[in-house]
């Protein structure tokens, strides 16, 4: 079974509409939709915004539903001049930009206990998503995706995250899902469509483009499931 997680209703609605033989189980306030999409057994959930909800959802998918891999599908802010609204970031790894024990001598983003900064995505899944985007003619880039419990909206913060981690996009859940998958040894991948420029105009961009960006992310996930 494949797990697919989105943070918001708009990020899972199209995928849920494609699901057949659907049944719903609610765990810790999260609805998990189980069924078939494009002939594949899938459990789909809207986790809610932020790292704690994302981690809770991913851990439930692994322990209760026994997923063999997890895909995080949704939207993000760009951190590179090569990605603009409507373009796609595919994570090669995830980092948590708001994890900071640097006063103790640690590098920014070090995850205490597992002592890594970058959580690598599954290369087979990354390559498959890369191929889907190329075949669909979608402008996309592969690179680290940065996660934190904050909506990045200033050029100063955008530049710091980009310079520190080399990330191509920033959002609020993928790093937590990656963290859970890493410690449970479950493969994961992240598809993020750019909905804003992570700058002073981020709020305006986001409100205007989030629905369209989420639809693009869902379409890529559907193409990947059908491949």
Catalytic residues: 11, 196
Give yes or no for a contact between 162 and 97, defined as CB atoms under 8 angstroms apart. Answer: no
- Which residues are paired to 23 by β-bridges? 34
35-50 CB burial, b ≥16 within 10 A, e <16: bebeeeebbbbbbbeb
CA-closest candidate to residue 70, choices 94, 49, 86: 94
Is residue 129 a contact partner of residue 148, using CB atoms and an 8 Å limit?
Answer: no
A 10 A CB-CB count for 197 gives 21
Confirm if 199 and 154 have CB atoms less than 8 A apart: yes
């Amino acid at each position: 079974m494949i797990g697919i997680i989105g943070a918001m209703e708009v990020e899972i609605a199209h995928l849920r509409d494609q699901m057949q033989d659907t049944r719903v189980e609610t765990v810790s306030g999260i609805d998990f939709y189980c069924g078939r999409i494009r002939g594949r057994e899938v459990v789909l959930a809207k986790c809610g915004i932020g790292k704690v909800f994302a981690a809770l959802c991913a851990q439930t998918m692994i322990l209760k539903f026994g997923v063999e891999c997890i895909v995080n599908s949704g939207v993000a802010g760009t951190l590179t001049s090569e990605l603009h609204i409507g373009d796609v970031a595919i994570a090669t790894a995830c980092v948590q930009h708001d994890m900071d024990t640097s006063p103790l001598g640690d590098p920014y983003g070090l995850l205490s206990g597992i002592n890594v900064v970058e959580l690598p995505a599954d290369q087979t899944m990354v390559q498959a998503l890369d191929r889907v985007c190329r075949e669909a003619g979608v402008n996309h880039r592969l690179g680290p995706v940065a996660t934190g419990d904050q909506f990045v909206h200033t050029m100063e913060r955008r530049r710091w995250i980009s310079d520190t981690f080399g990330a191509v996009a920033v959002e609020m859940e993928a790093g937590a899902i990656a963290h859970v998958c890493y410690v449970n040894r479950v493969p994961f991948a992240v598809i993020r469509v750019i909905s804003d420029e992570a700058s002073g105009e981020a709020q305006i961009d986001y409100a205007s483009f989030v629905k369209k960006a989420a639809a693009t992310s869902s379409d890529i996930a559907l193409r990947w499931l059908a491949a």
